[in-house]
Amino acid sequence: MRIEVENIKCGGCAGSIRKGLAALEGVHTVEVDIDGGVVEVEAPEAQRDEIVRKLASMGYPATGSLHGLKSAGAKARSYVSCVVGRMDKD
């Protein structure tokens, strides 16, 4: 399934998404297109809502799904993921 998301900025973001979604039962593969802001997940279509909720909780809401303060909070979580990803590389 293809999910367009906000806030993917770097390889650290992509790594966080892959790790977070891979932990869900039923998810087989996760591919992240950083430039396109797209997450491709091999999982049963019935899990779409669960996967979208997981992405949002990690700071990567489905495009157009969050507004106002919720969106600002999601961007802050995404920024933290970028920083952690960069620290892991050092």
The pLDDT, as a whole number, for residue 86 is 58
What predicted TM-score, i.e. pTM, was given to this entire model?
0.74
Q: How does pLDDT run across 32-71, given as a tens digit for each residue? A: 999 999 999 999 999 999 999 999 989 899 888 754 345 5
> For residue 28, is pLDDT > 90?
yes
Contact assessment for residue 3 and residue 52, using Cβ atoms and an 8 Å cutoff: yes
For the chain, the domains span 2-89
> For residue 84, is pLDDT > 80?
no
Which CATH number is 2-89 given?
A: 3.30.70.100
Contact assessment for residue 59 and residue 78, using Cβ atoms and an 8 Å cutoff: yes
Residue 86 or 5, more confident: 5
